[in-house]
Copies of this chain bind each other. A is one copy, B any other.
Amino acid sequence: MAKSRFEYVRTYEQDAILLPNTYIVIRLDGRGFHRFSTHYNFRKPNDKRALCLMNAAAKQVMRHIPDVAGAYGQSDEYSFVLSRECTMFDRREAKLVSTFASTFTAQYQFLWPEYFPDTPLDGNMLPSFDGRAVLYPSLREVRDYFSWRQADCHINNLYNTSFWTLVLTGGSSEHDAEQALMGTNSGEKNELLFSRFGINYNNEEIMYRKGTMLIRDVGAGGSASASETTESKDVGEKSKRQVEREKNKRRKAEIVELHVDVIGDEFWTDAGRWIS
């Protein structure tokens, strides 16, 4: 039973460490959610219960993992951004990504009955999520990351809204709806919705159009730590006590749910209050 004779296998473990002082974005994606949403009869083009469940699960993740500064979700995906000082798991990539995937899954499943009270989960069709981590050296890129996801939300939602309106209201077959939309730009889809169905896309529910941003609001005076500029001075200098104090602040901070434009400047003018 000499354990030591076998322990050499540990030398094959290679922990990828995420570069210090960079923002970590962890994006989770529903696995096979096309089949999943069909199985549980999600409403088209958007199922409010499903989106709210995603948001609720993400909030729970933020409550349990104080290193998360903010998160953005749309459709079956959620992205969590960790502050650049984050040292959770010594920034080991596999542990971080797997923990987020596992924790989110657990919360999603636990909260399911609250959002789908009449639809029990089926053991052969449980929700699961895969994940990945991406590093961004500056706040500018984090901002552009969220803009990228929100632009993606817009494009997909406008398409899906047009498609399902054609099918469900217009009576088109799915194939005909696809043909009708092929090659159309945003303006043409807006026009189609309005002229044929009297739908002003901009009046559609804002959560569908903009997705959901969750921030941990540490308050006006507070600031998650400091401004971009100041903070870069702090590298390697911030005391452990200070880090601990900020962590506590984040832990206690209210998690705010927003459905706003994150592409323009406004949302980011006061970003220092939630991300550092």
Binding site for B on A (CB under 8 A): 1-3, 5-17, 19-22, 28, 31, 60, 84, 89, 93-95, 97-107, 109-111, 121, 123, 126-141, 144-145, 147-148, 151-152, 154-155, 186, 228-229, 232-233, 235-236, 263
* Residue from A5, A106, A127 having most chain B Cβ neighbours under 10 A: A106
Copies of the polypeptide in the assembly: 4
Q: Which of B123, B130, B137, B186 contacts A98 (CB 8 A)?
A: B130
Q: Is the CB–CB distance between B12 and A144 below 8 Å?
A: no
The dominant DSSP class at the A interface is: helix
CB proximity of A58 to chain B, nearest CB, Å:
14
> Chain B residue with minimal CB distance to A15?
B132
**B106 and A6 contacting across the interface, CB-CB below 8 Å:** no
- Residues on B with beta carbons closer than 8 Å to the beta carbon of A233: 140
Most buried by B among A13, A21, A129: A21
Given A12-B21, A94-B130, 4 other A-B contacts at CB below 8 A? A3-B152, A95-B132, A101-B102, A137-B138
Are the C-beta atoms of A6 and B147 separated by less than 8 Å? yes
